[in-house]
Structures are given as C-alpha cells and as structure tokens.
Amino acid sequence: MTLERAIRAVVLYPHIMDVYADRGNLIALRARCRALGVALEVANVGLGDPLPTEADLVLIGGGQDAEQRRVAPDLFERRDTLHRWVEEGAGVLAICGGYQLFGQAYRTGAGDELPGIGVFDVTTVAPPLGWERCIGDVLADSLVEGVGEVVGFENHGGRTYLGPRARPFALVRFGHGNNGDDPSEGAVYREAIGTYLHGPVLPKNPALLDRLILAALRHRYGPDESLPEVPGDEWAVRAHASAAEVARSRGRPRT
C-alpha cells in the first residue's frame, strides 16, 4: 500500500504517565493508521526532551499523584507550544492524570496545587480522606460529533469540575464521570479531548480513534480532508460491545 498522507504524533512522558495500559492507545493508533493508508510519525517526549516543531496529534496518559508532581513543572514549561497546536486544530487525547494537568490546576490530597496548562477550563480537587474513589466501568454518550457511545474504565480519586468555558466530552449513563455528582465525563476544547477513560480507551472505541486521526489529517492538510471508507476492526467492535454490556450489568447507574 502506498502511504500518500502522514500525520505527526507526540506522546508526552510515555514512561511516566502510563497507568492501566494507556500505551495501548498508541498501538491502536498505529494499527488504524496502517489500515487507513496513513503514515504515522511518532515522537516520544520525556522530561526535559525538546518538543518537535510541529504536531498533528498529542497523546498523554494517566499517572498517580507522584507521577503528576514529576511532570507538572515540565509540562507547564511547554504550555505555549501546546496551546498553539490546540488552537491550530491539532488533536489531543489526554487521559486521567494527563487530563487533570491539561486543565487549570489539580489540588492533591496533600494540599499541593499542581499548575495545569489550561487547555480545558476544568479544575480538579482531591476529596477528603475517607471518600470513595471513582472506580468502575463507564458507559457514556459522547457529545463530539460522530463518536457516539463510548466505554472505558475509570479509577480516580480527584473530582473534576467544569468551568464556564468548558463543555463535557460525554454524558455518563453508567459510572461516575468527572465527579460523581453531575453527569459530565471529560472535557472538549476544539479537537482536544480529555477523559478519565482507561482500558486503554482507543482500542474499545473505534469511532473516537477515527475522529482523532481525522483531526490530525485536517490539521496537517486542511479542513477538506476525509477518511477513506475502510471497515473498522472487527475485534474493536466486539470489544466495544462487550465493555458496554459489562458497564450496563455492573456499572454505577446514573439516577
């Protein structure tokens, strides 16, 4: 197959921010790009590494408080470049701890306030000791065009609250979502998506995967780009259906 188009992906802190197999999102991205005939250039960026000059897609996974403390100052130093890419329309997938640090700030259980880079107008606060964690299977309806139903697994102590300029990525049917009180899950700004969904999330949600690839293509080549009519992976479709059924049977229902 001749690969006539290419996208550039940046993976932030892959050896630090990678809980619950978030690295599987890059594996799914590679496989789907190959099926679509799109070449994928990947740059892994660790602490202190220089950012590439351009990116069409940014991935960052989750991490616990210790990992977030390590990366937060380094990420903050990169905020101007990351904001520029987002404003230009590059795709972003920020998972759990990465999502929190792409918000305004995260106040840890120890009372430390980690600065976020402010892509999403959200703030995360660790609750008092004794509060239950938000753990379990999630089934939600995405508010991003073309994505539809999304599934995944959440495990977070922090409660995330949307500010006036934020809009949620999805509305939860089963699970806790951002905070367990309102039905919101994640956040969206332009083509940037923040979410608490692990699993990893992309192998179980092929429509979301295609949406991110399309955003990356349009960032690089222009708004008229489209994806070829290539069937989705049968196993991804089955994985989505299975995860949705699990969430319905044992997930926390919204009341």
Distances (CA, A) of 126 to 106, 158, 172, 234: 8, 4, 21, 39
Q: How far apart are CA 92 and CA 212, in angstroms?
A: 7
Q: Where are the alpha helices (DSSP H) in the chain?
A: 24-36, 65-77, 79-88, 97-101, 201-204, 206-221, 234-250
The rounded distance, in Å, linking the Cα atoms of 57 and 213 is 8
Sheet holding 187-189, edge to edge: 38-45, 5-12, 57-60, 91-95, 192-195, 187-189
Residues in the chain: 255
**Calpha distance 162→184 (Å, rounded):** 8
Catalytically annotated residues:
96, 198
| Angular region, 163: left φ>0, alpha ψ -120 to 50, beta rest | beta
